[in-house]
Amino acid sequence: MGIILNNISKSYANVPALDDISFEVAPGELFGLIGPDGAGKTTLFRILTTLLIQDRGNAAVAGYDVLKQYKDIRNHVGYMPGRFSLYQDLTVEENLTFFATIFGTTIEENYDLIKDIYIQIEPFKDRRAGKLSGGMKQKLALCCALIHKPKVLFLDEPTTGVDPVSRKEFWEMLKRLQQKNITILVSTPYMDEAELCDRIALITNGKILQINTPEAIIASFPKKIYKVRSSNTYQLIQDLRIYPDTHSAYPFGEYLHFTPKSEAFGPMDLSKYLEERHHKGIEVKETVATIEDTFMDLSKAQE
C-alpha cells in the first residue's frame, strides 16, 4: 500500500523527462529521490500526485491507480511542492483551516499529527503566510500537507536553499512522522541527506542510476578511493588532471577525492609525483566513499 511504479516514461515535446522508471516504496518507508535540478524528480512527483499523466507505464499510490482512481489518491496523499504554494494573503491559521476544510476535516481532529511542528509557528498564527521567514513557511506547508492525515506524503525538495541547522530539524520532523506510519517520498539535491533515508534512488537525466539502502550504495563503490591534499588546492587539481593514473579527482571539503585507473596504484607513487611538482604539505590516504562519490561515478559512467 505504499507506492508502485512500473516502466513510467514521460516526455515534454520529445525531450524525455523520465525514461522507464520502476521502483516500489514499502508502506511506512522513508524513501529518498536523490538527484540534481533537471533530473526528473518533480515530473515524477506530479505523476504520482495525479497532476500529470504519464506517456507510458503505470503507477499506484496507497493501492490506487494514478489514472483510474485519481480522486482516491487526492484524498489520501499530502503533497508539498518545491515552490511555496500556500495562500500568501491568508494568515498561518487561515491557511491551515482552509486545507482542513477542503479535505472535510478540522484542525482539532488531526491536531495530534501536526502538534510538534505547529507549536513552533503557533506564536505567529495571525501573521500572513507571505510575511513568514523561509523556515516558518516550510513548517506551515508541511502542516497543511498533513492536516488530512495522509497515508502517503510527497515532499519535493523541502530543504533546498535551507541552512544546515533548519535542514537537520526538518529531517528530525520527518523521522517522527515516519513513526506515525506515514509513507514518505522525499527528494533532495543534498547528497548528505541521503543517509537519513531507509532507501534511496539516485536519479539523473530521467534515469535511475541505482536503488538501495544508503549503506549498500556506499559499499557498492567499485574502486579504491583516496583523500589527497596539499597546500595549493588549485594546483593540486591541475596536477592530478594530468597524472597518468587518474580516473577521477574531485574536491571534497578540505581534501580531493582521487580514484586511480590501475589496480596496482600505490599512494607513495602519487606522493612522489606531487613532491616533484613542488607541492607542500602532501597527504595521500585511503578513505571511504560517500553517496556523492557513488553518484558522480555512476553519472560519469552513464555519459
Partner 1 sequence: MAKDNMIQVENLTKMFGDFTAVNNISFEVGKGEVFGFLGANGAGKTTAMKMLIGISKPTHGAATVAGYNVLTEAELVKRNIGYMSQRFSLYNDLTIKENIVFFGGIYGLSSKDIKEKSQTMINELGLHDMTNSLVGSLPLGWKQKVAFSVALLHNPKIVFLDEPTGGVDPITRRQFWEMIYREANRGVTIFVTTHYMDEAEYCDRVSIMVAGKIEALDTPKNLKSQFRVDSMNQVFLKLARNIE
190 binds partner 1 (CB under 8 A): yes
Contact region for partner 1 (CB under 8 A) — 6-14, 111-119, 146-154, 187-195? 187-195
Does 250 engage in binding with partner 1 (CB under 8 A)?
A: yes
Q: Which stretch binds partner 1 (CB under 8 A): 84-92, 107-115, 248-256, 268-276?
A: 248-256
Binding of residue 218 to partner 1 (CB under 8 A) = no
Give the chain's count of helices (H) and strands (E). 10, 14
- Pairing type for strands 183-188 and 199-204 reads unpaired
252 is a site residue for partner 1 (CB under 8 A): yes
Site for partner 1 in 61-80 (CB under 8 A): none
Alpha helices in 153-247 (DSSP H): 164-179, 214-219, 233-242
Residue 295 binds partner 1 (CB under 8 A): yes
- What is the spatial distance between Cα 245 and Cα 6, in angstroms, rounded to a whole number? 41
Binding mask 19-58 for partner 1 (x = CB under 8 A): ----------------xxxxx-------------------
Return the half-sphere exposure (C-beta side, CA atoms, 13 A cut-off) of residue 75. Answer: 7
Binding flag, residue 231, partner 1 (CB under 8 A): no
Among residues 12 and 111, whose Cβ is nearest to partner 1? 12
Determine if 133 is a binding residue for partner 1 (CB under 8 A): yes
How far apart are CB 221 and partner 1 at their closest, in Å?
14
Instruction: Report 196-215 residues binding partner 1 (CB under 8 A).
Output: 204
**Cα separation, 196 vs 174, whole angstroms:** 10
Q: Closest distance between partner 1 and the C-beta of residue 28, in Å? A: 28
Asked if 120 and 153 touch (Cβ cutoff 8 Å), the reply is no
Q: CA 239, CA 170: separation in Å to the nearest integer?
A: 41
C-alpha cell of 46?
506530479
Q: Is 237 in the site for partner 1 (CB under 8 A)?
A: yes
Backbone φ and ψ of 236, nearest 5°: -60, -45
- Cell numbers placing 83: 515552490
What's the N-to-C CA distance of the chain in angstroms?
36
Question: The C-alpha cell of 114 is what?
Answer: 501536526
Pairing assessment for the beta strands 255-260 and 246-252 based on DSSP bridges: antiparallel
Bridge partners of 235, per DSSP, are none
Task: Please choose, out of 71-79, 118-126, 174-182, 183-191, the segment that lies near partner 1 by the rule CB under 8 A.
Answer: 183-191
- Answer for the pair 220, 271: CB distance below 8 angstroms, yes or no: no
CB-wise, 29 or 157, nearer to partner 1?
157
User: Measured from the CB of residue 62, what is the shortest distance to partner 1 in angstroms?
Assistant: 29
Is 157 a binder of partner 1 (CB under 8 A)?
yes
Of 251 and 266, the one with the shorter C-beta distance to partner 1 is 251
Give min distance, CB of 146 to partner 1, in A.
Answer: 22
- Is residue 162 involved in binding partner 1 (CB under 8 A)? yes
Q: Using CA atoms, how far apart are residues 33 and 47, in angstroms rounded to an integer? A: 14
Q: What angle do CA 231, 235, 236 make, to 5 degrees?
A: 70
CB of 293 to partner 1, least distance (A): 9
Binding site for partner 1 (CB under 8 A): 35-39, 133-135, 157, 160-168, 189-192, 204, 233-234, 237, 250-254, 292, 295-296, 299-300
